[in-house]
Amino acid sequence: MVTALYRRYRPETFADLIGQSQVTEPLMTALRTNRVNHAYLFSGPRGCGKTTSARILARCLNCAEGPTDTPCGVCPSCIELARDGGGSLDVVEIDAASHNGVDDARDIRERAIFAPARDRYKIFILDEAHMVTPQGFNALLKIVEEPPEHVKFIFATTEPEKVIGTIRSRTHHYPFRLVPPGPMLEYVQQMCDTEKMQVAPGVLPLVVRAGGGSPRDTLSLLDQLMAGSDGASIEYERAVALLGYTSAALLDEAVDAIGARDAASAFDAVDRVIQTGQDPRRFVEDLLERMRDLIIVDATSAAGAAAVLRGVPQDELDRMATQAAQFGPAELSRTADILNAALTEMSGATSPRLHLELMIARALIPATDDSTRGALARVERLERRIGVAGGAGEFDGAGAGAGAGAAGSGVSAGAARVSAGAGAGAAAGAAAPKPVETSASARIEPA
């Protein structure tokens, strides 16, 4: 039977922990300067290293060469508290979810009186400490406030606000955080290299995203993909299906269709989402994520986009740049707002397909949006049609020439290219006593 990946690579020193420098550095300093407190409270999201850090701290305190911030790993205490160890008699790990009453607190008090069997300290680790009842905490209060010299307490919880204030005030509180995508991506890549597992491009960013910043959740998902892979490689299609995300090909098709105002292709993409049994809400979330990526690509340079969108292959970044050019900043922002509103509307919806199709219709037709953002989107669309960049480009003179000819200018409608601003206005002014409207929008069908 294979041990789970997150257990096989559980950190054994503070240096091995990722993304928790706000916790590890102060603790290592306290160990080096011999300023270790008698009680600690570790709080934070699940799977981010609270219980592991409690075990590492116990290892540092009871190491034969300690207290030290770098346990030796060879003394009896270090071996017993290693990832494959059987546990130490002087380190008592208690599941507070099932041992949370007054009787359990009394038992801890009675055991704390006795000296350690072998090591320097008797350490009590209370996991899921928020499950302890107020009566249980009150029964522990005196021993936590004034413990014997040989006793240390470490409370680990995901809900520190449920730990009564009188206990919290007697501990050093260290908040753990979710790990950012950058360090997490490097970490899972390192795991794959260690396991000699080949991973298709685009898989690891999906794993990191699905893990939500929790190292344990991320490694569990990676372990699941490894277990279900054929040979020594993880395929992109299998990872997408298992993790429940929308494939990049379908997202590209939907984005290209919206950008090109191709209603047939856009509604066909929606139909495939429904027919293949995908979660419509997940499709909208993934589409919104893609719009966010396009906004970043449109607003930054190529190097800047690559730095923000870590793990995205260069060919995909190039494809995103092409897609972003189809929209423009205002249109990208408007489409993202439509998708975000659709997510709210789809909560508890009885007809997800209807909401999807209405969302696509609103995204395809800027005229349905009478806000300032919708007007900007329509202006951008007109500028792209006539080739005007920033409202001051050049365009083919057919429309302006025809207008000038109607005013009696004598200038041919097929005249050479003229400027959208000064050229057309000057030609019209020279030929007629009255100013002639040369707005490009007057000659082009509304968006």
Q: What domains are defined for the chain? A: 5-175 (3.40.50.300), 181-243 (1.10.8.60), 248-381 (1.20.272.10), 396-442 (no CATH)
Give mean pLDDT, residues 78-94.
92
User: Cα–Cα distance between 178 and 296 in angstroms, integer?
Assistant: 23
Which of 142-156, 238-252, 318-332 reaches the highest mean pLDDT?
142-156
Dump the DSSP string for 144-205: HHS--TTEEEEEEES-GGGS-HHHHTTSEEEE--PPPHHHHHHHHHHHHHHTT-EE-TTHHH
When the pLDDT of each residue in the chain is averaged and rounded to a whole number, the result is 84
SS3 261: coil
d(CA 357, CA 5): 42
Percent residues over pLDDT 70 in the chain: 82
Strand 172-175 relative to strand 198-199, pairing:
unpaired
Cβ(184)–Cβ(215) below 8 Å: yes
* pLDDT tens profile 63-74: 999 899 999 999
pLDDT above 70 (res 362):
yes
Summarize the confidence of residues 389-405 as an average pLDDT: 40
**Which residue, among 432, 400, 429, 434, has the nearest Cα to 416 in the 3D structure?**
400
User: Is it true that the peptide bond before 67 is cis, omega within 30 degrees of 0?
Assistant: yes
What integer is the mean pLDDT of 187-195?
Answer: 93
- List all residues 6 or more positions away from 347 whose beta carbon is below 8 Å from its beta carbon: none
